[in-house]
A = this chain, B = another copy of it.
Amino acid sequence: MTSPKRQRLGPAQRRAQLIALGVQALGTHALDEISIESIADQAGVTRALVFHYFKSKQEFQTAILQAASEHMMEITTPDLSLPPLEILRSTLNAYIDYVGRNPHVYIAMIRGETSNVPAMKESVDATRSRLAERILEMLGRFGLDSGPLLEFAVRGWLAFVEEVVIRWLTDSEEVTREQLLELLTGALPGVVMAPLLGDQGMLEQMFPGLPDRAGEQEQAAG
């Protein structure tokens, strides 16, 4: 009788299985807390066999992180049949779902648990670059020419999204998921048009009634 756990797999399949179990463990564990023993046990193999596929725990962790990033890229693939803001909104919606299911790994990835391991830091940075390229490519479709300034805006927006999402995951019950989604969605056009918004006239168009002096100062002057 063969236990399903002990099924014979080819090397590529076994490697993929171990990574998949690692990614699954991220739903409940921080990357550093994932136990090789537990993964080996679930796969019905020995700890030594895991280390046959991955030279070190770090190499295994990096592979897990890469697979998780790949999965995130897939589920946030833009749906080009939608209007521009809906492409953005639906992508961010999937992104929030994803990080909500994997808050541990998300926070660890973004806030340093991985940043001292060069291979992991590189993996996170590579994912950011892929996201930035994807967004720039999308903006290009809508007539915005890519250039260093637009790239800065997009990279800055990704940092904005990371910061805001982490805050939402860790310390707010006061901001609804819907409000979060609208903030993230509108912030991209917000920063893309930022070079135009440093103008009082433009701003007044957006915020009618904006005073042109700080309240206190007005009193002092009056």
Q: Which residues in A have some Cβ–Cβ distance to B below 8 Å?
A: 80-81, 83-85, 87-89, 112, 115-116, 138, 141-143, 147-149, 152-153, 155-164, 167-168, 172, 174-175, 179-180, 182-187, 189-191, 193-200, 203, 206-207, 209-217
Residue of B155, B164, B182, B213 near A167 (CB, 8 A) is B155
Counting from the closest, the 10 A-B pairs by CB-CB distance are A190-B190, A186-B197, A186-B194, A159-B163, A185-B198, A156-B160, A148-B174, A187-B194, A156-B164, A141-B214
Task: Give CA–CA (A196, B81) in the complex, Å.
Answer: 23
Helix, strand, loop or mixed for chain A's interface?
helix
Task: Give CA–CA (A147, B200) in the complex, Å.
Answer: 24
Residue of B156, B164, B184, B210 near A155 (CB, 8 A) is B164
Closest Cβ–Cβ distance, residue A67 to chain B (whole Å) = 24
Stoichiometry, copies per complex: 2
Q: Is A167's CB under 8 angstroms from B190's CB?
A: no
In the complex with contacts A160-B159, A194-B187, A212-B143 CB distance below 8 A: no
Task: Give CA–CA (A127, B187) in the complex, Å.
Answer: 24
Q: Is B138's CB under 8 angstroms from A152's CB?
A: no
B-side contacts of A193, CB under 8 Å:
186, 190, 206-207
Q: Is A142's CB under 8 angstroms from B183's CB?
A: no
Can you name 30 A-B pairs with beta carbons within 8 Å? A80-B217, A81-B217, A83-B213, A84-B211, A84-B214, A87-B214, A88-B198, A138-B214, A142-B215, A149-B175, A152-B172, A152-B175, A156-B163, A156-B167, A156-B183, A159-B159, A182-B194, A183-B194, A186-B194, A186-B195, A186-B196, A186-B197, A186-B199, A187-B190, A187-B191, A187-B194, A187-B197, A189-B198, A190-B194, A191-B191
